[in-house]
Amino acid sequence: MTISRDAVLEWLKAFAVAIETQKDYLTQLDSEIGDADHGANMTRGLKACVEALPSVADKDIGSVFKAVGMKLISTVGGASGPLYGTLFLQMATTSNGKLELSLAEWVATLEAGINGVLTRGRANLGDKTMIDALSPALVALKTAAANGASLSEALRLSAEACAAGRDATIPLVAKKGRASYLGERSAGHQDPGATSSAIMLQTIAEVWGKA
């Protein structure tokens, strides 16, 4: 079972819908420890990405990811634009020229994206950022693939680990971004970036898992 270009396009549309559906929730989370704009920013950026998809719908997966990354950087404000943009731009480097991805290729692609975010954001595990959700997701994906899991099973386990990582940000004290200005007061609040990352991995599991 592989991930086709059409499945990638379908997922991006589903991701945009899911973020828009959760826009107010993301805004509420961000209002507690940030600028209260994460929901609106991500909704606007992904809407622009979906509108740009027809121009790359006949191209390879790497070209799709590159177009999405560039659009996110140019349309999403705050820290989210550069971080999510970097995620997609780096994922494009490993999927360049490919019209479908195997599970092993998706592992390598997601890892490249997350490494890009780590470099760009200079965040570590435990800093209360999207990395706290994405890193466990990658570990779960790698483990599932190594154990011979099916694509759908590996994606499900990855999404579950991402959600657990999201929840684990609640007691953490923020070390990065605007939330870090609050110091100890940032504890007790769920990180918005980790939350949108969990939405991303959940929609991947839902769309690609049925392929």
Tens-digit pLDDT profile for residues 129-140: 999 999 999 999
| pLDDT score at 211 | 56
Between 177 and 197, residue with greater pLDDT: 197
Phi and psi of 2, rounded to 5°?
A: -125, 170
Q: Containing H/E element for 100?
A: strand 100-101
Asked if residues 86 and 120 have their Cβ atoms less than 8 Å apart, the reply is yes
Nearest to 51 by CA among 37, 68, 39: 68
Residue 73: is its pLDDT beyond 80?
Answer: yes
Q: Where are the domains of the chain?
A: 3-208
- pLDDT of residue 39 exceeding 90: yes
Whole-number Å distance between alpha carbons of 179 and 31: 10
Q: Which of 101, 87, 209, 94 is nearest to 157 (CA)?
A: 209
Quick one: pLDDT band at residue 88, thresholds 50, 70, 90? very high
C-alpha dihedral over 209, 167, 178, 187, to 10 degrees?
180
- The hierarchical CATH code for the domain 3-208 is 1.25.40.340
Q: Where are the beta strands (DSSP E) in 2-61?
A: 3-4
Task: Please report which confidence band the pLDDT of residue 201 belongs to, taking 50, 70 and 90 as the band edges.
Answer: very high
pLDDT band for position 175 (cuts 50, 70, 90): confident
Higher pLDDT among residues 183 and 96, named by residue: 96
In sequence order, what are the residues at sequence separation of 6 or more whose Cβ sits closer than 8 angstroms to the Cβ of residue 1? 103, 150, 151, 152, 211
* 191 contacts 167 by C-beta, under 8 angstroms: no
- Rounded mean pLDDT, 13-36: 95
